[in-house]
Amino acid sequence: MKSKLLVTASTFPRWAGDTEPRFVLDISKALLAYYDVTVLVPACPNAKDEEVLEGVRVIRYHYFPIHKWETLCYPGAIVPRIREKEIRGLLVPFLFLGLWLKLKKICKDYDKVHAHWIIPQGIVQSFFDKKYVITGHGGDVTSLNKGIIKRLKVKCLKRADKITVVSKALAEEVKKLYPEAKTEIISMGCDTSKFGKKYYQENYFNQNRKKVILFVGRLAEKKGVTYLIDAMKYVDGKLVIVGDGPLKDSLVAQAESYGDKIEFWGSKTHEELKNIYASADIFVAPSVTTEDGDKEGLGLVLLEAMASGLPVVGSNSGGIPEIVENGYNGFLVAERDVQDLSGKINVLLNSEKIQDKFSKNGLKVVSNRDYSKIAEKYYRLMEK
């Protein structure tokens, strides 16, 4: 009989075919080879309290008496949701309490816990006498490192049986937070079977022979989209922006003078993304470090783009250099450097030789990050 593993998270698909990031579902699905897996995530309007998604049992816990107000976590992430509407910050203590109450009820039924994100999952888990692995993904490590929150984060790291992060950059940040931490680096990955040039569709973007530069991600400060829009002044091509978020209105206003040179497509399902990736020409991730220290944990969209055969350009920021090796499988550019960004985009657009080199090498890189291999690493870690 397999051991029972409880996975806790706050970013997760709300239903089948959702546009929310699915990497926790993907790693949980891959871990079914080793464990009986249940995922515990916050409730949200129109989502089921319990269901099975792609073979993974999902439980959603309620954290506010008026369920239609449970809007802290979706769509997007907690911190951007609060920045978008500050009153949502009042829901934070309820989220912690709701998770604590649910764990008090069910935690004893599981052998081990894998908590994604230090806040709130790791902090709440640290109050229970149960073996757990904590995985840091980005902003949960790099931001909110003051006062009681910092003390609670350190407590979480001290009590964890294993600490993992998705990049070397985050491992260094954990050391700053808790110098005694013994951190292992296990990135999230990519289901390589769901992407590839086989999903290419001719004239998918109706681009009138214009090359298509693609961005996929949250429209939030950390993603640096404003600099990509500025870079399009110097690029002969079409920029397609896929995603939603708190900066959408300001970015649309910024791009207004470009006419149909820049298009906003909103959020797309993962089924739609495979065609979008495969039919574009290059992919750009212009991420930046925010004022409060938040930065890109890894950049999973870069892996999806590489799995689709796209050459990529990414900022030399956070964990991105651990995916993109400059001149091998993509270009790295300085944060916020519009001239560097537009220059590298133009080099790629005008050189089929470099495009082919980056595409082939990108496929090699992403083949080592398939979720089956990531799950095996977690299994070995948890069984130590």
CATH code, domain carrying 160 = 3.40.50.2000
Cis peptide upstream of residue 311 (ω within 30 degrees of 0): no
pLDDT at 293: 78
Q: How far is CA 19 from CA 15, 216, 303, in A?
A: 9, 12, 17
Q: How far apart are CA 251 and CA 340, in angstroms?
A: 21
pLDDT at 207: 61
**Sign, CA torsion 10/142/81/242:** negative
Q: Are residues 117 and 49 in the same domain?
A: yes
**Sign, CA torsion 217/337/362/360:** positive
Q: Are residues 101 and 177 in the same domain?
A: yes
Q: What stretches in the chain show pLDDT beneath 50?
A: none
Q: Are residues 210 and 336 in the same domain?
A: yes
Q: Are residues 276 and 176 in the same domain?
A: no
pLDDT at 294: 80
pLDDT at 299: 86
Q: Are residues 261 and 311 in the same domain?
A: yes
pLDDT at 144: 80
Q: Are residues 141 and 197 in the same domain?
A: no
Q: How far apart are CA 72 and CA 91, in angstroms?
A: 7
Q: Say what percent of the chain tops pLDDT 90.
A: 83
Q: How far apart are CA 326 and CA 313, in angstroms?
A: 9
Q: Are residues 216 and 136 in the same domain?
A: no
Strand order in the sheet with 212-216: 262-266, 238-242, 212-216, 282-285, 312-315, 330-333
Number of domains in the chain: 2
Q: Are residues 178 and 208 in the same domain?
A: no
Task: Classify 355 as helix, strand or coil.
Answer: helix
Continuous H helices in 182-239: 225-231
Q: Are residues 31 and 126 in the same domain?
A: yes
Per-chain mean pLDDT for the chain: 94
List 185's β-bridge partners, or say none.
165
Q: Are residues 172 and 197 in the same domain?
A: no
Q: Are residues 167 and 288 in the same domain?
A: no
Q: Which residues of 20-42 are buried (b: 16+ CB within 10 A; e: fewer)?
A: bbbbbbbbbbbbbebbebbbbbb
Instruction: State both tokens at 46.
Output: 């129109």
Q: Are residues 251 and 132 in the same domain?
A: no
List 41's β-bridge partners, or say none.
60
Q: In sequence order, what are the residues at sequence separation of 6 or more whose Cβ sits closer than 8 angstroms to the Cβ of residue 253?
A: none
- Residues belonging to the chain: 384
Q: Could you list the residue range(s) of the whole structural domain that residue 292 is in?
A: 192-367
Task: Classify 62 as helix, strand or coil.
Answer: coil
